[in-house]
Amino acid sequence: MLDYAALRASEVLKIPRTAILATDGPAGLQLSEFPCEAADLEIYLLLPQTSDHVFNLESNQTVSLLTNAWAMKGKAKVVCGESMNLELLRSPEREWSVLVQIEPSTIQIPGDRGWGNAETIDLSDRL
């Protein structure tokens, strides 16, 4: 059976090329914009190795991402990515960065008019 929620989520996740990452942990609340790339239902970000976000992820994997197309909550982890075919891994920043994989639990898509969300996609049963 086709999972329409997963299909819709994979469509909207491919739209942006940058996202604002929010983490919280020993380094406090951190908000920064990073390049991103979607692959299936995961989002990948390149973060500087010395980033306070990486320090926060060591103790708290819960993150939020914000783009013009959607807002997302999920779980993040640093991954190797050597065998992955991602454009991010071909960027010059890769030398001094770590690759972070985020598995979404909830994606909110804003409406075309005014305030509020037009759609909320719950993927929490996939984690």
Mean pLDDT, rounded, for 55-80: 95
Higher pLDDT, 60 or 124: 60
Which pLDDT tens digit goes with each residue over 52-62?
A: 999 999 999 99
pTM attached to this predicted model:
0.88
Query: Are the CB atoms for 55 and 33 separated by under 8 Å?
Result: no
Tell me which CATH homologous superfamily contains domain 4-126: Electron Transport, Fmn-binding Protein; Chain A (2.30.110.10)
User: How would residue 2 be classed by pLDDT, with cut points 50, 70 and 90?
Assistant: very low
Among 32, 86, 81, 82, which residue's Cα sits nearest to residue 54? 32
Helix (H) or strand (E) holding 53: helix 52-57
